[in-house]
Amino acid sequence: MSGIVQIVGVTGFIGRHVFKALSEAGSSVIGTSRKGRELANVQMDSSVFVCSDANNLEEDVLVCQGVGVVVFCAGLAHVHKSSGVEISGFEQVNVDLPVRYAQAAIAAGVGRFLYISSIGVHGEGSSEPYFEGSGFAPSDEYSRSKVAAEQELARLFRGTDSELVIIRPPMVYGRNAPGNFSRLASLVQKGLPLPFGGLHNPRSFISIQNLVSFLVQCIEHPDAGGKVFVVSDNDDTTTCGFVREIAEAQGRSVRLLPVPAWLFVAGLTLLGQGKAARKLSAPLTVDCSHAMKTLGWRPPYSLREGVRMSFEKPR
């Protein structure tokens, strides 16, 4: 794809890694975020550089002149309660914002629009690997908002000259990753016995390095347009095994107590952490053969390498 790449959500965990990778590869990149920070490695005339996520979500959002690909990385992922205000926030950030950017991209003649969704649109707890054709079965407000966004984006791009690409990753891990990965790393670092020894549920994960590699492939590959992809490290483990990899990467020994999964969930539910417990104890694997065959992509790093890089000192 020719032209500039615009990254929406450049200050987020995924967005900043995509910006860095593309910049280092010599691509022309512009990044925007709702926090008002703007990054660009290309010179843009001030009268042309009019793109903004806008602190006020009611303001207009525009795609910059000369942009050939938009990578939409923005999103709201974690809330603790399902209040009306928080649900409204999901709808604004996870549905309304990508839809409005898509409308601007189509109007600007952008060739390709990459939307980062979530494997959570398929649910959790399946004994079979999820693939692109797995049915929608969202289990919380976050995954429901992702389904709504996917459906509305598919409707918008239908019959246009712009191509929509949807990517559904499982839990993304890496240095300073938000969510459960950082929590697990912090628990391991404390050196206390942990109740993960009985969690032998199969799990797929993806390192930020592997996800960025795949996103770059989706930007460049002619066969990516109009496709949906589920993607992972293609190197499955278990929750128990993942915690052991984190400990090894940190250079720490860890004692994992063989607490049965049902008791693990019940105990954390009493502590107000039932949602996190259910996610950690449920089986969730991904069959990413479609992504690998269609785009000729292979994850550059194994899960062990990805976890190790998560704790290496930045260069």
- Tokens 């079979």 correspond to 128
**CA 20, CA 34: separation in Å to the nearest integer?**
19
Q: Catalytic residue among 101, 115, 142, 173, which? A: 142
Triad 107, 111, 112: Cα angle to 5°: 105
Residue among 109, 10, 17, 100 at smallest CA distance from 64: 109
Radius of gyration of the chain (CA): 20
115 is catalytic: no
**CA 15, CA 27: separation in Å to the nearest integer?**
15
Residue 271: in which H helix or E strand, if any?
Answer: none
**CA 15, CA 307: separation in Å to the nearest integer?**
19
Residue 215 in 3-state DSSP?
helix
**CA 203, CA 23: separation in Å to the nearest integer?**
32
Residue 70: in which H helix or E strand, if any?
Answer: strand 67-72
The amino acid that residue 303 corresponds to is: L
- Tokens 């005339």 correspond to 45
Residue among 162, 54, 40, 32 at smallest CA distance from 109: 162
Contacts of 230 (CB under 8 A, 6+ apart): 119, 130, 131, 132, 134, 168, 169, 286, 287, 288, 290, 291
Residue 67: in which H helix or E strand, if any?
Answer: strand 67-72
Q: Which residues are catalytic?
A: 142
